[in-house]
Structure 1
Amino acid sequence: MAQSLHLRAVGQVETESRVLESLNYKNSFETFNNLQIEAQHISIMLLDQGYLESDLLSLEKQTDSSYVASYRLGTLYTNARIYFTADFNNKILKLVSASITETYFEIELAKLETALQLLNTEIANNGDPFSTLQLTNIKKANGLLTANLKIEVKEQRTIDTIIVKGHDKFPKAYVRRYLKLKPKQPFNLNTIRRKTAALDNLQFASQIKEPEVLFTKDSTLLYIYVEKQKSNTFDGFLGFGTNTETNNIEFNGYLNLNLINTLNYGESLRLLYKSDESDQKTFDVKAKLPYIFGSPLGMQVGITIFKKDSSYITASQVAKIDFQINPKNSIGLGISLLTSTNLLNVDVININDFQTTFYDLSYHYTNLQRHDRLFPINFLFEITGGLGNRTLKNTDETQSKFELNTFKIFNLDDRNSIYTNINAALLNSNTFLDNELFRFGGINSIRGFEENSLLANLFGVLNTEYRYKVTNSLYINSIIDLAYYENQSLATQSKLLGLGFGFGVLTQAGLFKLNYSNGSSEDQTIKVSDSKVHLSLTATF
């Protein structure tokens, strides 16, 4: 059996020997070669400790199995003062030092090597990936190391070509305007990664992997990896309830089609048709065209037609220019024209022909949670304010309106979450017509009430759900809805409550949801016979 060899490190004085003992070096070896390597490694550890003048003086054999390594430690250097030129980026230096003057920065010597590596990485990310840092004119005096920081500068790189892989028809305008990446920009890898991360806030595309860069002798090629996502949706529901007057079961429902990036321009188109139990019909078409002609501006246009049995028909036309501030925020400026016609042959109180023109300002915020297939949007906030003029029987009246639609999902853990939604609107006017008031109630408003059965010039609805995920494709939820509304034309104010429960299941056909709810007001208690059952299916393709 081979005999173990032992190593002991000593200094020239007792204090140096104690320093060597504190290094916790290895002292037992199978071979002499390994013992020599450890003796050299002790020298490196001394340098890391700040003993820049240390030296291995000798390695002597004491007995057949023991050796003594003698070291001279010299002066202990704890800090370094590094001088830099005036054109050095002080913002980068703040990453490594809290003591910075106009000509030098100070740092603990033990942290100097790591600091230089970090500085070199930051310089590379800011457009010069081939630069190197050097310390020159190194001096040692009174326990302080001084040196000059020199950057060996190569030619600064800029992005020459941007190539999208994986989704060859990805809209070019989104690279330039949405990601804000274009040729001739200084190459900065960290900035590029931060910008491409915004791809995950798009509904029709996502990032497959981190961007990559190919450097050639005279050009820099940036590769972005994008995958097209299924983003078109077809949504519909079937509802039924008992008519309190006839005691017959009545059915209602709607169809909602959303097409996103079908033409590979990032455009979206929404088509909605709704027919409800109150003999009301709604037809709504909206189109959004982003980055028109490659500019930072987009356009939204739409038309909505609402028909109330044989009483009146109202048409709303909207045109808006919007500006994308960043991937999550946008603002819009637009005009809306509202025209209503009385279909009855006789004059009816509060139903008249009129025309209103509004000039609107809006703000929109969206934050996705793409990892969640059941609830892909975590936070939405949209607010619109408008000033306008209504013409009624050759009489003009100034009006204003405000609309708010926002919801947020609070994820308590992987299975439990709380959903809150606020929908509110206000119409300011001296007089009001029934055919210009806001209509709300139903599955997309306060649940437990008939669709669009409530009229108001001011209303606010709070929807809440406690959601529990049974699996990644099945959840159950509670329904607690509160609402307040005012109708000045009828001099009424009321508070509403909707209670119920539901579930949702993700099937191969899409997301199927069932909600059972019942509503009550201050002067009307909950009746089981008035309960509403809503079925819906949202298919993504």
Structure 2
Amino acid sequence: MQKLFLLYLIIYILFSSEGICQNLQLDIKGENLIETAVIDSISYKKFHPDINAITQEVNTLQKKLFHIGYVESEHQPLTPKNDSTFQVVFNLKNKYQDIHIYYNEAIVAKDIIQLVSNQVYENYFILPFHTIEAALYTINSKISDLGFPFSEIRLQDISAKDQNTLQAKLETKDVLEKRTIDKIILKGYEKFPKSYLKHYLKIKPKTIFNLSQVKSKTETLNELKFANQIKEPEVLFTKDSTILYLYLEKSKSNSFDGFLGFGTNEETKKVDLTGYLNLDLNNNLNYGESFSLIYKSDENELKTFNANLSLPYLFNSPLGVEVGLNIFKKDSSFTTVNQKAKLFYQINPQTNVYFGISNTKSNNLLEEDTSPLEIQDYNSNTYNVRFIYSKRQNSRLFSKNLLFDIEVGAGKRDFLSQSENQTLFLFNAFKIFNLNPKNSAYLRLNGSGIFSDTYLENELYRFGGINTIRGFEENSIIASLYGLLNTEYRYQLSNSIYIHSIIDFAYLENKLLVQKEKLYGFGFGFGLLTKAGLLKFNYANGKTENQKFKFSNSKIHLSLTAVF
């Protein structure tokens, strides 16, 4: 008995499912074969679960016909052909190819009309019929951007001009009232520097309200170190005012960077330790200011002190000021002090230009009878122009995607009662090529040069080490002109750790020693994002063009960048 009941149940389920899943068929035809071919070319869904879906499909097809110009098309009532098939017959009538739209320049400016039509005349313009919807949307958006957020345009008095052309009037629903931003309210980070609203975002009261432009400008907050946008801006419209709300948060932008280096001293055969301190403070006074301090001590008794202060939008003007002090000392041979002051102007959130002056003074610390002729007291003044373009990216490990920084200076150097003209240049650029979420390539170009009739040892450039060419001692290489290429292939094991290769190349010229040389650095490293900061490990071996590879020339560099 139970088996018989189970058999009946299975049969019932199978036949019930078949009835539930049964489809109704829709067959749509035209008044003739030509019209039927047009309908078939549009395509429509033929099988439906119920009669409501069939009715909806017929309405959808009619909208498609209207869109391509069959605005007078009609269809007969839905007719059943049999138990599962329904038929509808359409009469397409005439197809209109174009529409002539008459407009008033007091409502819509001619330059806006020219964005959507190539045939614009004194009081009307012509559109292909299938572009009407997109064209009206564009026109309405442009009117909204002019300070009319509630604009609503429509076509009135639509009629046939001839067999292939319609005509209509372009009108607005209501009288348009121009809106301006009356007040800006900050939420989340109320102490965000107001000068950045005016000059960085270029959003200020009494400007024409343009929501799409406001959204575009606030997205540039991602280029700032010290602030970001937590949600899109909102607008409160009242009868006589427009209030803009910006939602911001203050970001951790201070950083502390340091490293330890291990290497074998070729003379003493002992392990030498080197290191440096790099402190970067940003916007601690909620002014947008930045202060950096670098102190470096190398194994060759080279000491560097560098302090830099940047104050943007001075006195709420579009100009900022940057001042810096650099002190360099080489054991007991000489000291060099460089002071600089620059004015800068921000072209856009990624681009700045600088104009300034720098003074360099160097003192020979050696006794006159032991001092080489190449080390002399000198004083120089240089006028500089600098251009910086940078672009950030959303990455915890690699926050900056692109940098282009070039500086050119010209001035005079005085020593031993004689004066010489000099030209200087500095160049630094890098780019991260993101191949996919885990793989990327890092490419950096860096170089400096000094051009003069004569050269002094205490004015030449010094490079080498973790921040220039890896595998060499810090600041161990002296040159009057050099260029270097750093490359890394990076692979992210996770969001907090990556490994990379090291392939570096450098070319240098030393006019003082009449020297030209090529340098190479090879190795590997990794980066690890910890609670304390970003820890970097580099192992690199450096060699000159004619030097053999030696493991004893390898250098290990450790650095830790903590953000707070």
Q: TM-score, normalised by structure 2?
A: 0.88
- What amino acid does structure 2 have at the position aligned with 1:150? E
Match in the other structure for 1:329: 351
Match in the other structure for 2:166: 145
1:77 equivalent in alignment to 2:96:
yes
d(CA) in 1 for partners of 2:275 and 2:55?
85
Which structure 2 residues correspond to residues 148-167 of structure 1 after superposition, within 5 A?
148-152=169-173, 153-167=175-189
d(CA) in 2 for partners of 1:306 and 1:459?
19
1:488 equivalent in alignment to 2:507:
no
The sequence identity of aligned pairs, in percent, is 49
d(CA) in 2 for partners of 1:30 and 1:450?
78
1:314 equivalent in alignment to 2:333:
no
Is the 1:86–1:102 contact (alpha carbons within 8 Å) kept by the matching residues of 2? no
Which structure 2 residues correspond to residues 175-254 of structure 1 after superposition, within 5 A?
175-254=197-276
- What amino acid does structure 2 have at the position aligned with 1:129? P
Match in the other structure for 2:412: 389
Shift of 1:278: 0.2
1:19-67 CA deviation, whole Å, 9 max, x = no partner? Answer: 6677767789999888877777766555445333344577789999998
Match in the other structure for 1:356: 380
Following superposition, which runs of at least 4 residues in structure 1 exceed 4 angstroms of deviation? 1-46, 55-73
Q: Which moved more, 1:9-18 or 1:215-224?
A: 9-18
Match in the other structure for 1:475: 498
d(CA) in 2 for partners of 1:234 and 1:69?
76
Structure 2 SS opposite 1:366: strand
Match in the other structure for 1:380: 403
d(CA) in 1 for partners of 2:23 and 2:555?
86
Shift of 1:16: 5.2
2:135 to 95, 115, 118: 115
Shift of 1:280: 0.9
Shift of 1:366: 0.6
- What amino acid does structure 1 have at the position aligned with 2:341? A
Is the 1:328–1:366 contact (alpha carbons within 8 Å) kept by the matching residues of 2? yes
- What amino acid does structure 2 have at the position aligned with 1:190? S
- How many aligned residue pairs are there? 540
Is the 1:126–1:189 contact (alpha carbons within 8 Å) kept by the matching residues of 2? no
Shift of 1:271: 0.7
Kindly tell me: are residues 39 and 419 of structure 1, through their superposed partners in 2, closer, same or farther at Cα, counting changes over 3 Å? closer
Structure 1 SS opposite 2:303: strand
Match in the other structure for 2:423: 400
d(CA) in 1 for partners of 2:52 and 2:489?
69
Q: TM-score, normalised by structure 1?
A: 0.92
- What amino acid does structure 1 have at the position aligned with 2:170? L
Consecutive unaligned residues of structure 2, counting only runs of 5 or more, are 1-18
Match in the other structure for 2:146: 126
d(CA) in 1 for partners of 2:46 and 2:493?
58
Kindly tell me: are residues 365 and 15 of structure 1, through their superposed partners in 2, closer, same or farther at Cα, counting changes over 3 Å? closer
1:300 equivalent in alignment to 2:322:
yes
d(CA) in 1 for partners of 2:50 and 2:534?
69
Kindly tell me: are residues 217 and 346 of structure 1, through their superposed partners in 2, closer, same or farther at Cα, counting changes over 3 Å? same
Kindly tell me: are residues 28 and 204 of structure 1, through their superposed partners in 2, closer, same or farther at Cα, counting changes over 3 Å? closer
Shift of 1:96: 3.6
Structure 2 SS opposite 1:116: helix
Aligned-residue Cα RMSD (Å) equals 2.8
Match in the other structure for 1:367: 391
d(CA) in 1 for partners of 2:443 and 2:305?
28
- What amino acid does structure 2 have at the position aligned with 1:332? Y
Match in the other structure for 1:536: 559
Is the 1:58–1:71 contact (alpha carbons within 8 Å) kept by the matching residues of 2? no
Structure 2 SS opposite 1:122: helix
